[in-house]
Amino acid sequence: MRLLNISKKMLNLGMNLDGKSYAVIVNEYCKLGRPDEAVVLLREMRGRGINPSLASFNAVFRSLIKLQEFDKAILLLTQMRQWGCCPNFISYSEVIIGLVGAEGRMQDVEMLVNDMIQDGHGLDTTLYSSLIQAYCINGDVRKAAGLFKEMIDEGLVIKKDCFNVFVKESCVKGLVHEAENLFVQMRNSCPAFDVETYRSALNEYLIGNSGS
């Protein structure tokens, strides 16, 4: 708080802050859970001809997502270029991972994933697994399976907890063979992963499904 008070006094005295000074204050507001005030400073920077840093934007995204201010985060992400800064992988992933954990936001997630890919940023294991799990929770196993196949093509291994959710939902939807086939493809394409652990999870649901 002392830092914020000092910065306000500097501005009141007509002293200009540079980009680094603004970045420190923006980060402080975000730590205090006051992202709206941080955004005001970002806008003020633009008015003074100073481009906000990527780190400052990402700090705001983390704060907004933590407060579940999803619409504000999406708007800021889509407007970043107008503010003199392009979103990077972290910018997108902060917002997307926050949205997949919220109810009824998959349309927004798909929009941002498309924007992310068009910007040349590929998905990593965490993003793929989060999206697959979200689709499963929403009952869309087909889309989840499509992303699972993309992961295999990329040589990535789905996270264990996400794999469990995928197999369970596949059994519920009568797509047991789809889950088995994807497991085989992953085993053949990614020999380094823990085959036995994933196989035991698969067998658990298959046995339970056959006995019902």
Count of domains for the chain: 1
Question: Is 103 a domain residue?
Answer: no
**Choice among 28-42, 106-120, 176-190 with the minimum mean pLDDT:** 176-190
Q: Is residue 153 part of a domain?
A: yes
Please write the tens of the pLDDT for every residue from 167-190: 989 988 888 888 889 989 988 887
Task: Give me the pLDDT at residue 14, please.
Answer: 56
Structure tokens at 178: 């789809």
- What is the per-residue pLDDT across 142-174, written as a single tens digit (0 to 9) for each? 999 999 999 999 989 888 889 999 998 998 888
Integer CA distances (angstroms), 144 to 56, 96, 129, 175, 206, in order: 33, 16, 9, 12, 19
Phi then psi for residue 140, to 5 deg, are -105, 75
Q: Measuring CA to CA, which residue among 82, 29, 101, 18 is closest to residue 60?
A: 29
Residue 172 belongs to some domain of the structure: yes
Residue 83 DSSP label: G
Q: Is residue 60 part of a domain?
A: no
Q: Provide the pLDDT for residue 208.
A: 57
pTM value is 0.85
The answer to whether residue 191 sits within a structural domain is yes
Kindly state whether residue 48 falls inside one of the protein's structural domains: no
The dihedral through the CA atoms of 165, 169, 171, 177 has a sign that is negative
Q: For residue 88, is it within any domain? A: no
List the structure tokens of 108. 């927004």
Instruction: Give the phi and the psi of residue 43 in degrees, each rounded to 5.
Output: -65, -40
Residue 168 counted as domain residue: yes
The count of other CB atoms within 10 Å of the CB of residue 152 is 19
Q: Are 175 and 205 in contact (CB under 8 A)?
A: no
Q: Indicate the pLDDT class of residue 120, thresholds 50, 70 and 90.
A: very high
The boundaries of the domain holding residue 154 are 123-212
DSSP 80: G
Q: Tell me the CATH number at 171.
A: 1.25.40
Q: Given this model, what pLDDT does residue 16 score?
A: 67
